[in-house]
Amino acid sequence: MNFPNKPRGTQDIFSSRALAYQRIQKIITKILRNNNYQPVIFPTFEAEELFTKSLGSATDVIHKEMYIFQDRKGRELALRPEGTASVARLVLQNNLIKEGYPLKLFYWANMFRYERPQKGRYREFWQLGAELVNSEGIIADYQVLKLMSDILISLGISDFTFNLNYLGNAQTKEKYKNQLKDFFKGKETELCDDCKRRHSTNPLRILDCLNCQKNFPYPSYENSWDKDDLDYINELNQILNKFNFPYQYNHRLVRGLDYYTGLVFEVDLGTEKAVLGGGRYDNLYQEIGDKNIPALGFAIGIERLVDFLEEKKILEIKNYVDVFFFVCNSSAYLDIFLWKEALANYQLIIDYNLEVRKSKALPKIIEHYQPQLLVIIGEKETEVNKILIRDCLKKTDFFVEKKIAIEWILDYFKINDRVN
């Protein structure tokens, strides 16, 4: 066929997978709203500088993954590669901080990164992100960890462990960077090409490289923690232990973006790539807007989440119709319009054929729409004021008085589970 295909690394999402995205969005949004998080919607593109300032110029996202372009007036813009910087800009520009109060925000947004496409890694992908802004301390950190675990549980995921690390304050981070530099002295040539560059610009980023990770026993972050860091970690662990929170420390977890300070975390659900990640970033608002606003947040990658839920058969959504009215007599449309109105408040998926069809079309219609209930309104039935209702799952037929059709259908769905 002679038309351009979708660009490399992008996806067409349709049918049951598109329904899965919507189902997940509904479940997670409910948890976030119950925790008093407010939705925000920000632009798909921002000034390029917003991201170069905040993510760190040596990070891969900035160095080689951003979609940057000039508009017709020569402004330097970038498609958003992540949401945290955009949220920070939105908060600052709209003066959303009320002194002394935390601000809880969340977003659903597509992100753009020029990465090498593979399963679970796309150039356009979806994230659910949440940010607890203007908050510091262990209770805030624990609240966000608990929120993420509530989200995973609400999705039917019970077997997960949080990988944690604590990057500490600026001195701790600097100390660790120096330890890494010392460790790599004399080994620079063994690093991959990307990590050779990272070694001179920002050695912490080497820890994100899956290739080099296998080849080097990096020094553990533990060695850099000072007394304050250790006090924090002990206190956090106490809370986590008390509530049986599933966690372990990964002393080599630093996460791909430069802005993290303090606690960082990831959940990988047993696969190589993380499904969820985030952490505390107390200096980001300083860097973007010269304001001291501590915050932490996380993002869940929706593609990886849907892949996992589908693979584990936790979320199986079928593209069924609840009730299909099969019209083989044009006068039946008037009944159907009334019945549709009567059923409108019951969240049922209802459809009917737009042109009168002969009954021999039925098998194809059933195959196409996969209805749970099929309602046939034909000449014969109309003469005796009845309709034929077929339960397509149990393969049984019922002759039902027309005037009780709605009651019958509603009773049926009260007793029988809906398949979709």
Task: Give the H/E segment covering residue 192.
Answer: none
Q: Please, what is the minimum distance in Å from the beta carbon of residue 296 to ligand AMP?
A: 13
Within 10 angstroms of residue 418's Cβ, the number of other Cβ atoms is 11
Q: Is 256 in the site for ligand AMP (CB under 6 A)?
A: yes
Q: Would you call 270 helix, strand, or coil by DSSP? A: coil
Beta-strand runs (E) in 159-252:
162-166, 247-249
Residue 226 dihedral angles phi and psi, to the nearest 5°: -100, -170
DSSP 174-224: HHHHHHHHHHHTTTGGGS-HHHHHHHHH-GGGGGG-HHHHHH--PPPGGGG
Q: Please, what is the minimum distance in Å from the beta carbon of residue 279 to ligand AMP?
A: 9
Q: Please, what is the minimum distance in Å from the beta carbon of residue 102 to ligand AMP?
A: 21
Token pair for residue 175?
A: 């100390």
Q: Considering only the stretches 66-74, 194-202, 210-218, 268-276, report the one whose residues sit in contact with ligand AMP under the rule CB under 6 A.
A: 268-276
33-38-42-48 Cα dihedral, nearest 10 degrees: -100
Q: Please, what is the minimum distance in Å from the beta carbon of residue 267 to ligand AMP?
A: 8
Q: Would you call 374 helix, strand, or coil by DSSP? A: strand
Give the separation between CA 177 and CA 68, rounded to whole angstroms.
30
Q: Is 113 in the site for ligand AMP (CB under 6 A)?
A: yes
* Footprint (CB under 6 A) of ligand AMP, residues 126-145: 127
Q: Is 276 in the site for ligand AMP (CB under 6 A)?
A: yes
For residue 306, give the DSSP letter.
Answer: H
For residue 50, give the DSSP letter.
Answer: H
Q: Please, what is the minimum distance in Å from the beta carbon of residue 55 to ligand AMP?
A: 10
Nearest Cα neighbor of 359 from 320, 326, 381 is 326
Q: Please, what is the minimum distance in Å from the beta carbon of residue 120 to ligand AMP?
A: 6
Q: Considering only the stretches 150-158, 163-171, 227-235, 300-308, report the one whose residues sit in contact with ligand AMP under the rule CB under 6 A.
A: 300-308
Residue 334 dihedral angles phi and psi, to the nearest 5°: -60, -40
Q: Please, what is the minimum distance in Å from the beta carbon of residue 205 to ligand AMP?
A: 12
Give the x/- contact pattern for ligand AMP in 36-65, rule: CB under 6 A: ------------------------------
Helices (H), 223-361: 227-242, 284-289, 302-311, 332-343
Q: Would you call 408 helix, strand, or coil by DSSP? A: helix
* Footprint (CB under 6 A) of ligand AMP, residues 208-247: none
Q: Which of 54, 301, 327, 339 binds ligand AMP (CB under 6 A)?
A: 301
Q: Please, what is the minimum distance in Å from the beta carbon of residue 85 to ligand AMP?
A: 11
Q: Is 325 in the site for ligand AMP (CB under 6 A)?
A: no
Q: Which of 199, 304, 323, 372 binds ligand AMP (CB under 6 A)?
A: 304
Q: Is 122 in the site for ligand AMP (CB under 6 A)?
A: yes
Pick the closer one to ligand AMP by CB: 85 or 195.
Answer: 85
User: Which residue's Cβ lies closest to ligand AMP?
Assistant: 301
Q: Considering only the stretches 117-125, 138-146, 213-221, 352-360, report the one whose residues sit in contact with ligand AMP under the rule CB under 6 A.
A: 117-125
Nearest Cα neighbor of 63 from 218, 224, 216, 200 is 200
Q: Please, what is the minimum distance in Å from the beta carbon of residue 54 to ligand AMP?
A: 12
Give the separation between CA 136 and CA 116, rounded to whole angstroms.
36
Q: Which of 46, 82, 131, 381 binds ligand AMP (CB under 6 A)?
A: 82
Beta-strand runs (E) in 95-171:
103-112, 124-133, 162-166
Residue 185 dihedral angles phi and psi, to the nearest 5°: -55, 125
Give the separation between CA 2 and CA 128, rounded to whole angstroms.
36
Give the separation between CA 25 and CA 29, rounded to whole angstroms.
6
Handedness of CA 60, 61, 67, 71 (dihedral sign): negative
Q: Which of 17, 53, 121, 197 binds ligand AMP (CB under 6 A)?
A: 121
Q: Please, what is the minimum distance in Å from the beta carbon of residue 96 to ligand AMP?
A: 22
Q: Which of 31, 180, 274, 309 binds ligand AMP (CB under 6 A)?
A: 274
Q: Which of 60, 282, 303, 381 binds ligand AMP (CB under 6 A)?
A: 303
Q: Considering only the stretches 51-59, 122-130, 153-161, 172-180, report the one whose residues sit in contact with ligand AMP under the rule CB under 6 A.
A: 122-130
Where do contacts with ligand AMP occur on this chain (CB under 6 A)?
82, 113, 115, 120-122, 125, 127, 256, 274-277, 299, 301, 303-304
